[in-house]
Amino acid sequence: MIGMGAVAILGSLAFIGWIIWRAARRKPIKAHVVSYILACVSGVLTLTFFLTMDIPEIVKILVSIMLGGVLIFIAAWFQRRIKPDQS
């Protein structure tokens, strides 16, 4: 799991560097891009932590799949609630 930890750390550093670079060049940073990058980095960090736990691998895989499905459902539900109905 050292490889996943390194990916998470390098991703975090790259994200911070990207924000500093954009700020130095005075370019706007869109909120949805920042949210997407933070979600990716936190996903890798969570996956790294979860896979290092001392439980059978098949349980980890099944829980990851179910948790991902639940989070996708919640995100879609919130997005639908926020947007006005266009029908």
Using a pLDDT cut of 70, give the percent of the chain over it.
87
pTM, whole model, 2 decimals?
A: 0.47
Tokens coding 22: 């954009």
Q: Which residues of 23-45 are buried (b: 16+ CB within 10 A; e: fewer)?
A: eeeeeeeeeeeeeebeeebeebb
pLDDT at 46: 75
pLDDT band at residue 82 using 50, 70 and 90 as cut-offs? low
pLDDT > 70? residue 17: yes
